[in-house]
């Protein structure tokens, strides 16, 4: 996968807090929730759904755990994720204060990881704001009328959010309390070293597209549908599979012009797609339990979907390019 060398990047969609010694732009203060087990808890409580607080507490604890297992695989400890892309300012990486000056064009995205992630975010949000969200919102009762752009926060080691504090072991996550996506870019090394994924530009973009899929769900009010918390066909699994499907839909449109502007991304190859499907399969519940955990696979404990389910819904999104085909809550055949 490559980026159009002449495309213009918009770094205003990224808040870069690396090198600020932890913390975040809208944090609640240090400590407390830790890891990534509960990064969404407070955010959902901020939505203020009366009479549902205790249920939401239980539910979002599970959803937070999904975020850890699915995209972080972390333990919830305070330690940093091993590996990473090198110190700020090193080869292929912009320093915390240099993002805007170093990430101007698609050529920069082809040369530097940070700039590639900026380009991914620009492309994902251009799709949803340029018609993707409008395609699905009218089919969902109570959905927000239009897509709302939100930032991704780059952080190192730890960050404070309106969903509590989290460290790098939490993996990337979306916080509905402040409507922000958070990622420590060292996660991409973990995806390869811990999960054995091949990695690559489209895999990196898929990670962000999944998190922005959760933002779309937030705008649609999808969490209000959640009832069951565990099991191969549970609502928590359906939530994650839908986010995968939304990511696939974006992938389908990633190399197409949006709003009269040329596409940021070009040359998505079959090898890119194969690597992304491989990554999706390696973060299935059965793979994590059986391969990484060395334990017995127990479908009754699934919270984010099997490898086969993840492959199916990512592929469904990509092959159809239609977010309306991502209604994982109405089907009896999750895969």
**What is the predicted pLDDT for the residue at 21?**
53
- What pLDDT score was predicted for residue 293? 80
Smallest CA-to-CA distance from 31 within 180, 164, 182 is with 164
Is the sign of the CA dihedral 161, 35, 43, 142 positive or negative? positive
Strands 14-16 and 152-154: parallel
Please tell me the predicted confidence (pLDDT) of residue 291.
Answer: 84
pLDDT number for residue 145 = 96
Q: Locate tokens 């975010």: which residue?
A: 121
**What DSSP designation does 181 have?**
E
Output the CA torsion sign for 237, 240, 246, 250.
negative
- Model pLDDT, residue 52: 36
Structure confidence at residue 92 (pLDDT): 38
Per-residue 3-state assignment (H helix, E strand, C coil) for 38-92:
CCCHHHHHCCCCCCCHHHHHHHHHHHHHHHHHHHHCCCCCCCCCCCCCCCCCCCC
What is the C-alpha to C-alpha distance for residues 333 and 327, in angstroms, rounded to an integer?
A: 11
Could you tell me which residues are beta bridge partners of residue 154?
Answer: 16, 183
In this prediction, residue 313 carries a pLDDT of 98
Please write down the long-range contacts of 189-193, taking CB distance under 8 Å and 24 or more positions apart.
189/81, 189/82, 189/83, 189/84, 189/85, 190/72, 190/73, 190/81, 190/82, 190/83, 191/279, 193/82, 193/83
Q: Which residues contact 304 (CB under 8 A, 6 or more apart)?
A: 66, 69, 70, 236, 237, 240, 283, 284, 285
- Pull the structure tokens for residue 236: 């928590």
Mean pLDDT, contiguous 10-residue spans, the chain (335 residues): 96 90 37 30 36 34 40 32 22 57 97 97 98 95 96 94 89 92 95 93 97 96 82 92 98 93 91 96 92 86 93 97 96 91
């Amino acid at each position: 996968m490559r980026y159009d060398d002449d495309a213009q990047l918009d770094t205003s969609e990224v808040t870069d807090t690396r090198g600020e010694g932890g913390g975040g732009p809208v944090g609640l203060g240090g400590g407390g929730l830790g890891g990534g087990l509960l990064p969404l808890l407070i955010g959902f409580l901020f939505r203020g759904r009366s009479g549902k607080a205790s249920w939401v507490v239980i539910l979002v604890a599970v959803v937070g755990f999904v975020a850890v297992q699915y995209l972080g695989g972390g333990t919830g400890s305070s330690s940093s994720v091993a590996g990473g892309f090198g110190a700020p300012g090193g080869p292929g990486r912009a320093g915390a204060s240099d993002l805007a000056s170093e990430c101007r064009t698609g050529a920069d995205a082809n040369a530097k990881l940070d700039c590639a992630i900026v380009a991914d975010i620009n492309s994902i949000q251009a799709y949803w704001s340029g018609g993707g969200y409008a395609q699905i919102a009218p089919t969902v009762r109570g959905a927000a009328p239009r897509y709302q752009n939100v930032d991704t926060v780059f952080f190192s080691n730890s960050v404070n959010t309106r969903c509590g504090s989290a460290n790098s072991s939490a993996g990337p996550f979306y916080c509905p309390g402040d409507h922000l996506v958070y990622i420590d870019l060292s996660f991409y090394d973990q995806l390869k070293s811990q999960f054995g994924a091949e990695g690559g530009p489209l895999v990196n973009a898929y990670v962000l597209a999944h998190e922005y899929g959760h933002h779309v769900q937030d705008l649609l009010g999808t969490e209000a549908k959640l009832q069951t918390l565990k099991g191969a066909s549970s609502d928590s699994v359906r939530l994650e599979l839908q986010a995968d499907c939304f990511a696939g839909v974006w992938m389908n449109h990633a190399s197409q012009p949006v709003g009269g502007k040329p596409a940021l991304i070009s040359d998505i190859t079959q090898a890119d797609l194969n690597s992304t499907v491989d990554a999706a399969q390696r973060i299935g519940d059965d793979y994590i339990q059986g391969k990484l955990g060395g334990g017995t696979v127990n479908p009754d404990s699934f919270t984010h979907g099997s490898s086969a389910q993840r492959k199916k819904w990512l592929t469904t999104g990509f092959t159809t390019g239609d977010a309306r085909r991502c209604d994982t809550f109405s089907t009896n055949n999750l895969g």
